[in-house]
C-alpha cells in the first residue's frame, strides 16, 4: 500500500477529492436505528441491520453457509491473535467490477471470509479475552437479485450461518470504527489487492477522520516502528498501518482444504495439457490449443483460468508473458504452453514445451534437456527450511554448466494459492504445506527458441511432492504423447 508523508495529519475532505464508489456506498441512507445496545456475545455496541427498500435485512434469507465458514473464522482468529494489543484489523473486499466481465477481487478478504461480497469489509478486534468478528455488507435488494442472482446481506441469520459475531450494514462501518478507535490506537488495514484499493481506503479514512472524537488524528505509516516517540507520532493519533505482513505469514502455509483445491485446479490443467499435446501440429493456431486446455479446465469444474493462458510458438516462445495467442504454428517451432485453471478461488500454474512437428531437433533437444535437468535440481532443493533463493540457485547452477544461464531471465519459483503469484515474504523459509512453482526457462530470441518447464510443488516433511506430475515432461514421453490419436479434430484456421 502506498503511503502518505510520514507525519501526523488530520484527513479532511476536499470538494475536488474523488472518493469513488466506496464513499457513495457508505453515504447511502438506508434508514433504521444507528445504534443498538451491546449483546452478551458481541462486544461493544453495534448498529442494527436496518430496513431497506426491499424489506428488513434481518428477514432476507441469506445463501446457505459454505463449508469453509468454520475454517475462515479460525483464520480470522489467527490474524487477530497475531496483531498487536489494542489493534483493530480492517480488511476491505473488492469493489464492484466494471461491466459484465470485469474481475476485481481481494484475496485477503476471500481468505478470511467464506463468501465474496462486493464493497464489503471485515473488522476484527479484541474485547477483553475474546476476539470479535464483524462483517459489513450491502443490504440485499431482491429487485437487483432478479437480474444478477442471490447475494448475502447483513442480519442475524448471515452472522450465525457464516460464523460472525455480527453481520452489519455497510453504512455502519465508519461509525463503528470511530467507536472502536476511541479506545484503541492502531488500525491495521488490508486494502491493496483491489484495483481501486487506495482510492477506497483514502475515502474511508476521510470519513473516519470526521467521526473520531475530540482532537484524535490519523497517522499513516508504511511499517511498524519502535515507538511513537521515535517516529514523531503524537499520543492522540490513531496509527494506520498495512496488515500485509501478518496476512502474508498466514497465507504462506496452506491448509488441507486449500491443498485439495489447488490439486483440483492442477488436475484439470494437466488433463488439458495432455489433450492439447495430442492435437498440436503445424498449421493450427495458438488459440486453438488454448481453447482445448480452457475447455478441459471448465469441464472439470474450474471457475475460470487463474491467469491469461500463454501459448507461444516460434518467436513467441521467447516472450515470457505472451498472451495474444494468434500465431499459426509452424513445423520447426517449439511452443511454450503456460496455463492454469482456478478451482474455488485457488490457482494452478503448469508449463510444458512441445515441438510442433512432434519431434525435437538436435538443438532443441539440447536446450530442452538442460532446462529439464535444471528443473529437477530445483525440485530436489525444495524442502522445509530452504528458501526460494536456494531453489533458484540450484536450477541456475545447472544452466550455467550448460552455458545457458545468460538466457535465464526470471526467478525459478513463486508461491501459489489464492493468487497464481501468491503472498510471500522475501527470504521466508519453506514450511510443510507451502506450495510453490519450480520453472526454469531459457529464451534464445536470436534462434526463436524458448523452453520453459514448470511444475507446482507441495512442500512435505520429506521434501516435495510434484502436484502436476501427471503432465509428461521427459522428451521421449512427450514425443509418444504427441503421436497418440488427437482428442479433438481441429481444422487449421482459414
- Name the fold adopted by 20-251: Creatine Amidinohydrolase; Chain A, domain 1 (3.40.350)
Q: What is the pLDDT of residues 303-340, one digit of tens each?
A: 999 999 999 999 999 999 999 999 999 999 999 999 99
- pLDDT higher than 90, residue 50: no
Burial 338-372 (b: 16+ CB within 10 A, else e): bbbbbbbbbbbbbbbbbbbbbebeeebeebbebbb
Which residues have CB under 8 Å from 5's CB, separation 6+?
none
State which H helix or E strand residue 342 sits in: strand 341-343
pLDDT digits (tens, 9 = 90+) for 361-415: 999 999 999 999 999 999 999 999 999 999 999 999 999 999 999 999 999 999 9
How open is the CA angle 231-233-238, to the nearest 5 degrees?
A: 135
Return the pLDDT at 191: 84
Residue 395's alpha-carbon distances to 15, 319, 416, 442, 464, in angstroms, are 55, 20, 19, 11, 15
**CATH fold for domain 256-482:** Creatine Amidinohydrolase (3.90.230)
Read off the pLDDT of each residue in 297-301 and give the average, rounded to a whole number. 98
For residue 220, what is its C-alpha cell? 499513516
pTM (2 decimals)?
Answer: 0.85
Interstrand relation of 237-242 and 186-190 (parallel, antiparallel or unpaired): parallel
The sign of the CA dihedral 396, 399, 403, 409 is: negative
pLDDT value, residue 42: 41
Q: Which of the given ranges, 8-17, 207-216, 221-230, 378-387, has the highest pLDDT on average?
A: 378-387
Q: How do the domains of the chain map onto residue ranges?
A: 20-251, 256-482
Question: Taking the alpha carbons of 425, 427, 432, 434 in that order, is the dihedral positive or negative?
Answer: positive
Q: Please determine, for residue 63, whether its predicted confidence score (pLDDT) is greater than 60.
A: no
Cell matching residue 429:
523459509
User: What does the DSSP 8-state code read for residue 427?
Assistant: T
420-454 residues labelled b (16+ CB within 10 A) or e (exposed) = bebbbeeeeebeebbbbbbbbbbbbeeebbbbbbb
Looking up cell 476476539 gives 131
Amino acid at each position: 500500500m502506498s503511503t502518505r508523508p510520514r507525519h501526523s495529519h488530520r484527513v479532511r475532505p476536499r470538494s475536488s477529492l474523488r472518493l469513488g464508489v466506496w464513499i457513495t456506498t457508505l453515504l447511502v441512507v438506508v434508514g433504521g436505528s444507528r445504534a443498538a445496545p451491546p449483546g452478551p456475545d458481541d462486544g461493544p455496541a453495534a448498529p442494527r441491520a436496518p430496513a431497506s427498500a426491499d424489506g428488513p435485512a434481518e428477514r432476507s434469507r441469506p445463501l446457505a453457509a459454505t463449508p469453509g465458514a468454520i475454517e475462515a473464522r479460525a483464520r480470522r482468529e489467527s490474524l487477530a491473535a497475531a496483531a498487536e494489543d489494542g489493534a483493530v484489523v480492517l480488511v476491505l473486499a473488492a469493489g464492484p467490477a466494471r461491466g459484465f466481465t470485469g474481475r476485481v477481487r481481494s484475496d485477503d478478504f476471500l481468505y478470511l471470509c467464506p463468501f465474496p461480497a462486493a464493497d464489503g469489509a471485515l473488522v476484527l478486534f479484541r474485547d477483553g479475552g475474546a476476539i470479535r468478528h464483524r462483517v459489513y455488507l450491502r443490504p440485499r435488494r431482491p429487485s437487483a437479485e432478479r437480474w444478477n442472482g442471490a447475494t448475502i446481506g447483513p442480519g442475524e441469520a448471515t452472522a450465525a450461518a457464516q460464523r460472525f459475531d455480527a453481520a452489519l450494514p455497510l453504512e455502519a462501518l465508519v461509525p463503528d470504527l470511530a467507536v472502536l478507535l476511541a479506545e484503541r490506537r492502531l488500525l491495521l488495514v488490508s486494502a491493496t489487492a483491489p484495483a481501486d484499493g487506495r482510492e477506497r481506503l483514502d475515502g474511508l479514512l476521510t470519513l473516519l477522520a470526521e467521526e473520531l472524537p475530540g482532537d484524535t488524528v490519523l497517522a499513516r505509516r508504511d511499517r511498524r516502528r519502535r515507538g511513537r516517540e521515535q517516529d514523531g507520532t503524537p499520543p492522540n493519533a490513531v496509527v494506520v498501518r498495512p496488515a500485509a505482513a501478518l496476512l502474508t505469514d498466514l497465507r504462506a502455509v496452506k491448509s488441507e482444504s486449500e491443498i485439495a483445491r489447488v490439486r483440483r485446479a492442477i488436475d484439470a490443467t494437466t488433463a488439458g495439457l495432455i489433450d492439447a499435446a495430442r492435437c498440436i501440429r503445424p498449421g493450427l493456431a495458438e488459440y486453438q490449443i488454448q481453447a482445448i486446455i480452457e475447455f478441459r479446465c471448465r469441464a472439470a469444474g474450474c471457475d475460470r483460468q487463474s491467469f491469461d493462458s500463454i501459448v507461444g510458438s516460434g518467436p513467441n516462445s521467447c516472450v515470457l508473458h505472451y498472451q495474444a495467442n494468434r500465431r499459426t504454428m509452424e513445423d520447426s517451432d517449439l511452443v511454450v504452453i503456460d496455463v492454469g485453471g482456478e478451482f474455488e478461488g485457488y490457482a494452478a500454474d503448469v508449463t510444458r514445451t512441445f515441438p510442433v512437428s512432434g519431434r525435437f531437433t538436435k538443438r532443441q533437444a539440447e536446450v530442452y534437456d538442460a532446462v529439464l535437468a535444471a528443473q529437477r535440481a530445483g525440485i530436489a532443493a525444495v524442502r522445509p527450511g530452504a528458501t526460494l533463493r536456494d531453489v533458484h540457485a540450484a536450477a541456475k547452477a545447472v544452466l550455467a554448466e550448460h552455458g545457458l544461464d545468460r538466457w535465464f531471465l526470471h526467478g525459478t519459483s513463486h508461491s501459489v494459492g489464492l493468487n497464481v503469484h501468491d503472498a510471500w515474504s522475501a527470504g521466508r523459509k519453506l514450511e510443510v504445506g507451502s506450495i510453490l512453482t519450480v520453472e526454469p526457462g531459457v529464451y534464445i530470441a536470436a534462434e526463436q527458441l524458448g523452453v520453459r518447464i514448470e511444475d507446482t510443488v507441495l512442500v512435505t516433511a520429506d521434501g516435495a511432492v510434484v502436484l502436476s506430475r501427471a503432465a509428461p515432461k521427459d522428451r521421449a514421453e512427450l514425443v509418444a504423447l504427441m503421436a497418440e490419436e488427437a482428442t479433438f479434430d481441429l481444422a487449421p484456421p482459414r
